[in-house]
Chain A
């Protein structure tokens, strides 16, 4: 099903025309209301009228997370404070947090795109959707919440924290939809099993998962264990929040709400725009936002844009599963390693629980990678030979996927830290040294 056929299935020519008009308006807005952009454009000898069509976008400057931090707290807000009706903030692990201000109209757009996503997953009126993203400064909770309401389905604002109560409500209310991080979905499946229950004891049928990278294997595991169809939802607070892009029933790439967010793929090192179909860093421009509009925001997410109309009928461009964030990327002995690659390997090995911790260190001037994994209780064997073979199987697979050798450490069941939000899976001791 399609929420807004007019926009989601627009012809490419019409869409490009609309994008160009919106971009022109946007540039005019930021030039006159955001000193940061005006200065940048003046440095580049650019006037708003130089941006006429969507192809002119390449003339505009990039925006980075560092720009947001440097202009903390509200330096990039284009609207007067009297127009800002909500503020979100992203967790800053280093330095200033990132603050985003929304106008009433921004929130209307956000609801619209989230409703598009939920509709693409098959959510309709009559569904009850439990939102297990954190409510608060993080955009996940409130973003999904208002999308469900806008669609006309019933929202259960569960938030994070009380898994036991969550399971109880899922059962008692016959909840049919679940929106949370994929790692929380697995945590929930595990908690269900601990109570002697399985996905068959619930009425859940649809899951909207995002806020962290996940893999096809993880999708299979979640779908099997909860008995649902699991879909990706993409978003980032700087741009809006969940709903920027979403999968459809085809589960073949995430559709970008292109009438609101214009995507480009660049070479992360040179900033050069790459041709369609090449892998690189996703860059997004908010075409319609008025609170804190951003030009060419570098998401650090690495992906590829897929051209062509999707089997679902949507014409909006899709991106492939995000390989990782250039932020999450670890460089170990000169090789790029993404935690999502490790995750994919672990999910292939049934004797090991779908959870891991990476410890990167430097010993004798050489980077080391330790992969800690939990043994599944029923896979434990008294035979030392088979336990060592299991370790070897995992380290061989890791070596072939990562191209570097990793030290595998088998740890006891349930001993790795559980996270109900974004999981912390990497300890890089090199930074501390």
Chain B
């Protein structure tokens, strides 16, 4: 099970992130989590949002370059050492992580990861009994 992540191309100049959040806000789209990858002149804003299809539509209408990517959202207890345990297992199975970011909700922690091999990653997570969330469970 994977979830859809929304990526937005942004120039490095003030006000660009505001523009994205404003467009999403005006259209009643909530952001669950986001992270920013940046270089000197541009960045990629990665978002997990409440209505991904609508988000694509409204951002494209505003001329943003957007793309959807399948990512894995792992759910673990929000306690010390929980993430380390999962990452250890993935490393043991040679799963390479291209990027990741996390968000906590009370006693539950969610980790979004983009593995180099999606199918392999999902297979091992299932085998190791790790809880993985789908779009509906966010």
Contacts and interface: CB of A to CB of B under 8 A. Distances in A.
Contacts of A411: 11, 41-42
B39 A412 contact: no
A271 interface: no
A362 to B, nearest CB: 19
Contact of A375 (B9, B37, B69, B98): B9
A259 to B, nearest CB: 50
Given A380-B66, A409-B41, A410-B41, A415 B46 contact: no
Classify the interface of chain B: helix, strand, loop or mixed: strand
B44 A382 contact: yes
Interface residues of B, number: 21
A381 interface: yes
A382 B67 contact: yes
Contact of B42 (A377, A382, A387): A387
Interface string A124-155: 00000000000000000000000000000000
Nearest to B66: A380
A194 to B, nearest CB: 10
A383 B70 CA distance: 12
B63 A414 contact: yes
A433 interface: no
A413 B65 contact: yes
Contact of B65 (A384, A388, A409, A412): A412
Nearest to A381: B67
A387 B10 contact: no
Interface in B1-45: 5, 7, 9-11, 16, 37, 39, 41-42, 44
Contact of B44 (A384, A414, A415): A384
Contacts of B66: 377, 380
A384 B66 CA distance: 14
Interface in A366-415: 375-377, 379-384, 387-388, 409-415
Contacts of B44: 382, 384, 387
26 contacts: A375-B65, A376-B65, A377-B60, A379-B65, A380-B7, A380-B65, A382-B5, A382-B7, A382-B44, A382-B46, A382-B67, A382-B114, A384-B39, A387-B39, A387-B44, A409-B42, A410-B11, A410-B42, A411-B42, A412-B10, A412-B11, A412-B65, A413-B63, A413-B65, A415-B11, A415-B63
Interface size class of A (residues with CB under 8 A): 10 to 19
Contacts of A383: 98
Contacts of B9: 375, 380, 410, 412-413
A175 to B, nearest CB: 28
A227 B37 CA distance: 41
Contacts of B7: 380, 382
Contacts of B98: 383
A409 B60 CA distance: 21
A375 B64 CA distance: 10
